[in-house]
Amino acid sequence: MARAKVKVCGITRRDDALLAADLGASAIGFVFWPRSPRYVEPETAAALARELPADVAPVGVFVDPAVSDVRRIAELVGLAAVQLHGDEPATLCDGLPYRVLKAVAVEGETTHDAAGRVPGHITVLLDARDPVRRGGTGRTVDWRVAAGVAARRRIFLAGGLAPENVGAALETVRPYGIDVSSGVEEQPGRKDAGRLREFFEEVARA
């Protein structure tokens, strides 16, 4: 199995962004939903994104945004991709020059239908359902269901991933990529350097 891409999400600090990039992150996620404890001002994210290596993609996480807000923030920060994590349609950003990830809640066998409604040019991100916090819950999803979706299309796996379980998650689901946030934090928006290093070590072993 090829090594999975790793997106480290909920970044708010320079040291965390640079460490994640140095450890091998493919993408860094900035949350632009003001109700999130991991919210970062677009101007701050823009400054952080300018320091990322060219091969690390800055990704903006949005919840039910207006297209105009996505366009404005994406241009300011220099986003490579947009992650839609609310109830907005997966096609919201069609016509904009960014790769798109669309969050789909893992809810039993209905997950296959929900993922199937996402057009093929959009990457599905499987996460635990939480209509209040919209991600970063620390709750794992049903990997058996996730594996069924991953067998059919390219996905990112999220939901409670941590150094203690990421190896098993990769072996079971075999996703294209994984998304980690709360599992490597000391508190929301502040990563724990030791756990972040351990996470990448476990990914490399898998």
Active centre residues (catalytic) = 9, 127
Q: Using an 8 Å Cβ cutoff, are 37 and 12 in contact? A: no
Distant-in-sequence, close-in-space partners of 131: CB < 8 Å, separation ≥ 6: none
The b/e string for 186-198 (b: 16+ C-beta within 10 A; e otherwise) is eebbebbeebbeb
3-state SS, residue 92: coil
Distant-in-sequence, close-in-space partners of 35: CB < 8 Å, separation ≥ 6: 63, 134
